[in-house]
Amino acid sequence: MVRGPAAVLTLCVATLAYLLIAPALPVLHGADLARIVAGACGAVLIAACATAVVPAADGRIVLIVGLLGSFLLVAALDAANLGAAASVFEALLYGFVGAGFAAVLDTAALALALPVFAAAVDAVTVLGGGPSALSLAPPARGDPLTLELPVWGGGAAGHVGIVDVVFVAAFAAYARRYGLRERAAGLGMALGLAAAFAVQVLAGRTIPALPFVAAGLFAPNADRLPALFRRAARG
């Protein structure tokens, strides 16, 4: 959704600032409303940070340096048990992981099939009673596999798991590589992740996030999918 090192840095600083000041923001009336607003804001910003590093996959050296640098930062911050403050750096790390995944498995067929397959597996797993990467439960302190969504006034609205963040970045990387509307896809997936969180709150049960994310990827690119199908068919 953003371009250029300055824009990425600005986004990361803004996300970090939000995560740090969220506990000091005024508490909204209504437990569900408070959780939805806080969780949706956090989810959108985390998804934006993850997709912001996708252009790094265009250069192998930048990708490797980004992976190593963000990994060291995440390890240090989680060891210090900084909670939500570490989420922005975890989003960057898993964004690099997702971008790297798409760079290694770079086929048009996978660009089409992976979002559908991942969404289907997530739906079957979660609706069948399995765990969801996106959850209303507070994350364990210092857990690098969960990105905390702070609630206004203090506490946690829930968390986003590593799986959802990696797939958001991977889908964005495929959109970039295969002529889809990358910015629109990034925004759509961020809103899809936020929508999944809101539905969880309203439904009072775990909901699979990846179907919402996949819809956010495909919806703004519906007119470009036939060309991608033809490219995939040609191999």
Beta bridge partners of 159: 135, 148
Overall size of the chain counted in residues: 235
CA proximity to 50, closest of 83, 106, 17, 1:
1
What whole-number distance in Å separates Cα of residue 77 and Cα of residue 59? 27
- H helices of 80-204, in order, are 87-104, 108-127, 162-177, 182-203
Please provide the DSSP assignment of 47-114 as one string: HHHHHHTGGGGGSHHHHHHHHHHHHHHHHHHHHTT-GGGGHHHHHHHHHHHHHHHHHHS--HHHHHHH
Domain extent at residue 153: 5-234
pLDDT at 2: 55
Note down pLDDT in tens along the chain; length 235 residues. Answer: 556 677 888 898 999 999 989 989 998 888 899 999 999 999 999 999 999 999 887 888 989 998 999 999 888 887 777 778 889 999 999 999 999 999 999 999 999 999 999 999 999 999 888 878 888 888 777 788 889 999 998 888 899 999 999 999 999 999 999 999 999 999 999 999 999 999 999 998 889 999 999 999 999 999 999 999 999 888 6
Q: Number of folded domains in the chain?
A: 1
What whole-number distance in Å separates Cα of residue 151 and Cα of residue 35? 6
Q: How far is CA 139 from CA 15, 142, 148, 201, in A?
A: 18, 8, 6, 16
pLDDT at 3: 60
